[in-house]
Structure 1
Amino acid sequence: MQQNPPLTRQQRRARERERETKKAHENKVKSRLVGGRVDGRTFEEWEPWNGTGVPVRENCDSGNPRQALLWMFTAMPGMSGAPLMLPTEYWEMQSWRMWVLGARPAEEPTQKYQPPASVTASAWQASGKWVDLDTPDPVRKTMADHVRELPQHVRAELRRVVLEQFGVDDGDRPGPPAITYTVRTLAERLRVEVDDLLEVLANIGASGLHADSRVSREVAERIAAQMGAA
């Protein structure tokens, strides 16, 4: 199948500007929909939720009306298969609406959100549950644990791909292809901690990386497929 030629820098910038313009318009529409101001600012002027995984109390800003009550909508009663049935921004609008109408957390919660036990389960496709605060958290295997359990030939293949794509054994090899992910972005895609992903990469031969190191799409997709989180 014939592939389209890569975009020029100008084309990429034009598309980025187009996305930014569209996003700004969408935010203005949302501000009109929810209405109200908090500290003189509209909905769009407050920082959106950018947490890793799903919204929980620990990754929501309690002083931000868009986020203060957002975590309460995660895994609501009757939900199964996914913690949120609509995009996060919808629930940010609900948090904002409740805030401008006077809702505030009055007491400390008596339950906590417990995510799926498997580290390879997608946080957006496998719903966790709310449990009492004194409920022990299950021991969760890290991605590195899963990689260590893979057959030797599979680990060898992963290592070969990483070495080829990074060119760590040959200084004359070209760098990664244009389409890449940072380690941080890949960790968000897999819904795991950056440190866990760095350990996995080190385990298959790509040591010395950091959160902003680039990972090729092939490596990312192979690791995601092996982890069952593609």
Structure 2
Amino acid sequence: MQLCVALDLPSQEENLALIEKIKEYPLWLKVGLRSYIRDGKPFIDAIKAINPEFKIFLDLKLYDIPNTMADAAESIMSLGVDMFNVHASAGRIAMHEVMKRLAPYENRPLVLAVTALTSFEEGEFCHVYGETIATKADRFAQDAHQAGLDGVVCSAYESASIKSLTSGSFITLTPGIRPFGEDAGDQERVATIETAKDEEVDFIVVGRPIYKAANPAAVVEKILSRL
């Protein structure tokens, strides 16, 4: 299991200051929608300048018509990131088109599909999708697997089921990890490190428990010691 730190602070300067504090650790760093829209490729370059060994997960959740998603995925190739995601709701054809477009590249990033956002609770999810979270997450994951993607973004509670329906090597990345019992905040389906381990999760994403800590490096070290 690998740790991915969410760079969700209000400014590029604050995110870079956080990265400086944790630069000695072997980490993945998640660049989300706000950070990328605000700071763009120069932010990714600045991260690599601090530590070229950092792996970057670009969390933009691409969701559009198939050709537009494929165009965007191909453009991502120029950014130097190591993983990005699309939304499984876009459908199998769109996901297949993304992977078809990336096929000629030798060193493409990992591509994951978002199943059910961890901010969803069951009632609201059923209202939007007409099925339970568990049922739909499984189906989305199977679609992504058949389309040739490398894995999915899901909550820890769907991970083991998804792997049993797809492959043990099919990646599961889980946001909403509260390693030491912290408040759930705006997430619904949060989990501990122990739960993530039990559910065979490959990547955990941790944000607030690290960047709101007085000593982020100490928190990172403590989390890594438990993976």
**TM-score, normalising length: structure 1:** 0.25
**TM-score, normalising length: structure 2:** 0.26
Question: Which of the pair is proportionally richer in helix?
Answer: 2
Structure number with higher relative contact order (C-alpha < 8 Å, ≥ 6 residues apart): 2
Larger C-alpha radius of gyration, 1 or 2? 1
